[in-house]
Chain A
Amino acid sequence: MENHACARLRPAFVFLVLFSCILFASGQAWAGDTLVGDVSPWKNAHFVVAAYGAVWLGAVLYILHLLRRIGALERDIARLRAERERVSS
C-alpha cells in the first residue's frame, strides 16, 4: 500500500513543483496592476519561496509519514489475523 500510495503521489508532487516554478518564473507581470510603481516584484521573493516551501514540504512529508505508518499497521493486522486463523484451525 505504501509503495502504491507513493507512486500515486509522485506525479502530483512533480506537477505541483513544476506548476509553482512556472508561476514564479512567469513573474508578477500577470499579477494585475502594481499599486506602487517602485515595488520590485521580486524583492524578498526568497522569503515567500521559503515560507511556501516549508508549508508544502511539511504537509507532503507528514502525509507520506502517515501513509507509511498505515501501510505498516495494515501489514501487521493481516499477519496477526493469519496467525489467529492458523492457531484456531
Chain B
Amino acid sequence: MITKDALSKSQNALAALAAIGFPVSLYFIFVATPLDAGLGFTQKIFYFHVPCAWITYLAFFIGSGSGVAYLSKRSRHWDHLAHASIEVGTVFTTLVLVTGPLWARPTWGTYWVWDARLTTTFVLWLIEIAYLLLREFVEEPEKAARFCAVLGLLGALDVPVIHFSVVLWRGLHPEAVVLSQRGFASGLPADFLMALVVSLATFTLLFGVMLSLRYRILRAAEQINDLRYGAG
C-alpha cells in the first residue's frame, strides 16, 4: 500500500529527475545533434513528438493492464491507476496530434492528411475522450470502473494497429526508425539516437510525475467520499 508520505517522496524524486532531464534533453536536441540533411530544423520536432507517442503507448499499456487487474481483483487501487494512466495518456496523445501536424506543414505542405497512422492515432484519442466521458456520465463508481476497463481493453487493440499502420498500409507518415522491422534504431545515426533516448527518459519521468499526482487525486477524492458517507 502506498502511504501519503512515501508517495510525496517518490513524486519529489521523479519531479527533480524530470527537471534535470529537461535542460539535458534540450542540450542534446539543439546543441549536440547536427541538423538533418533532408528535413533541416523541423526534424527537431521528432525528439518530442516520438516521446509523446511512446508515452501514449505506455499509458494505454498501464491503463488497460490495470483495467484487467481491476476486473479480476475488484480493487479500487487498480481502477484508480487505470483512470489516472488513461487521463495522462490523453494529454500526451493530444500533444502527439499537435506536434505531428506542426512537423507535417513544412514537410508535406499540409497540416493533416487522412493517412493510416494519423487516422488510427486520432481514433485512439477519440477512445480516450470516450473513456473520460464515460467516467463522468456513469454515476455508479463500480459500473463506471467496469465499463471503462472494457473500453480501455478495446482501446488497447488500437495501439498495435497504430504502430504497424506504416507497414500495413502505404501512407505519407515515415516508417518507424526505433522499433522497426530492420532492428532497433537501425535507421538512426548514433548522435540522433542519443538525443532521442535522453528525451524518451525525460518524458517517461514526466509521465511518472503526472501519473502519481493524478493517482493521488483519485485516492484523495475516494477518502473524501468515505469521510462524507462514513465508510472510512
Identify the A interface with B (CB < 8 A): 12, 15-16, 19-20, 23-24, 26, 28, 30-36, 39-45, 47-48, 50-52, 54-55, 58-59, 62-63, 66-67, 69-70, 73-74, 76-77, 80-81, 84
Contacts and interface: CB of A to CB of B under 8 A. Distances in A.
A41 B36 CA distance: 10
Category for how many chain B residues contact A = 35 or more
What 7 A-B pairs have minimum CB-CB distances, sorted nearest first? A32-B34, A35-B37, A73-B220, A44-B106, A80-B227, A51-B102, A66-B213
B48 A52 contact: yes
B100 to A, nearest CB: 9
B49 to A, nearest CB: 7
With most chain B CB atoms within 10 A of its CB, the pick from A15, A30, A59, A70 is A59
B102 A50 contact: yes
A interface secondary structure, majority? helix
Contacts of B157: none
Given A19-B26, A35-B37, A44-B42, 12 more contacts: A12-B19, A20-B26, A28-B41, A31-B32, A39-B40, A44-B40, A54-B95, A67-B213, A70-B220, A73-B217, A77-B224, A77-B227
Nearest to A73: B220
Interface string B88-112: 1001001100110011011000000
Contacts of A12: 19
Contact of A54 (B26, B33, B102): B102
B interface secondary structure, majority? helix
Contacts of B38: 36
Nearest to B213: A66
A34 B91 CA distance: 34
